[in-house]
């Protein structure tokens, strides 16, 4: 069942604000961030929606600022899941990601995450938004190369950061597979 987003929130806020400069221009209040993550009943953000937002922001200074602000709005990682198993290896930044089953739809995945660097924390937030509500099979189908290409991250992040983002997605997929295994 498709629900209309709240006025001024989620994708509507993006389409209403053609000159968005910050996350708060696109997502004007905390409640809207929650709506952004769940998109009024939908649980995952599509790559097309992320690309639309990036195109509205224009130049890369605005896009970097958007990533920084988006990362600042990432909910805190619960300390009990800040473990070595949830730490991303192969990333220059200190990154943690934790998958868990959606309590209301156990075939669907949810993620917590955190990072100590602002830009990668913003990228992590986008990845979490795109992974939210996916099944394990949908998570496995997430194409990191398409993510890099369509957002032009390959042109604007260093090669070391590329390796780190691939490592984040690899861990997210590994955790999804582990959750899918019978207990």
pLDDT in tens, the chain (183 residues): 333 333 333 333 333 333 333 334 433 333 333 444 443 333 457 888 888 888 888 788 888 898 999 899 999 999 999 999 999 998 889 999 999 998 898 899 999 999 999 999 999 999 999 899 999 999 999 888 888 888 888 888 888 888 899 999 999 999 999 998 876
Is the separation of the CB atoms in 153 and 109 below 8 Å? no
H/E stretch holding 95: strand 95-102
- Three-state DSSP at 112 gives strand
- Give the helix/strand (H/E) hosting 96: strand 95-102
Domain 10-180 matching CATH 3.90.1010.10: the answer reads yes
According to DSSP, the residues that pair with 98 across neighbouring strands are 112
How far are the Cα atoms of 62, 73, 110, 141 from residue 21, in angstroms, in the given order? 6, 16, 28, 32
DSSP state of 59: S
Q: Which residues, in sequence order, are bridge partners of residue 28?
A: none
Per-residue model confidence (pLDDT) at position 78: 93
Tokens of 153: 């991250």
Closest CA relative to residue 26, chosen from 9, 44, 7: 9
Residue 179, judged by CB atoms within 10 A of its CB (0-12, 13-18, 19+), counts as middle
Residue ranges covered by each domain of the chain: 10-180
What are the beta bridge partners of residue 102? Answer: 105
Considering only CA atoms, which of 132, 96, 126 is closest in space to residue 111? Answer: 132
Instruction: With H, G, I as helix, E, B as strand and everything else as coil, classify residue 143.
Output: coil
Residue positions annotated with a catalytic role? 91
């Amino acid at each position: 069942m498709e629900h209309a987003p709240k006025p001024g929130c989620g994708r509507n806020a993006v389409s209403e604000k053609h000159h968005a400069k910050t996350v708060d221009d696109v997502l004007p209040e905390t409640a809207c961030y929650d709506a952004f993550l769940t998109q009024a009943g939908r649980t995952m953000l599509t790559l097309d929606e992320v690309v639309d937002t990036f195109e509205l922001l224009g130049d890369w200074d605005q896009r970097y600022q958007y990533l920084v602000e988006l990362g600042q709005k990432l909910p805190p990682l619960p300390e009990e899941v800040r473990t070595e198993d949830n730490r991303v290896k192969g990333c220059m930044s200190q990154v943690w990601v934790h998958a868990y089953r959606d309590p209301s739809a156990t075939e669907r995945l949810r993620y917590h995450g955190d990072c100590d660097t602002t830009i990668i924390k913003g990228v992590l937030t986008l990845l979490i938004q795109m992974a939210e509500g996916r099944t394990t099979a949908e998570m496995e189908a997430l194409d990191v190369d398409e993510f890099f290409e369509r957002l032009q991250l390959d042109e604007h992040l260093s090669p070391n950061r590329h390796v780190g983002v691939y490592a984040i997605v690899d861990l997210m997929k590994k955790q999804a597979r582990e959750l899918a295994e019978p207990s």
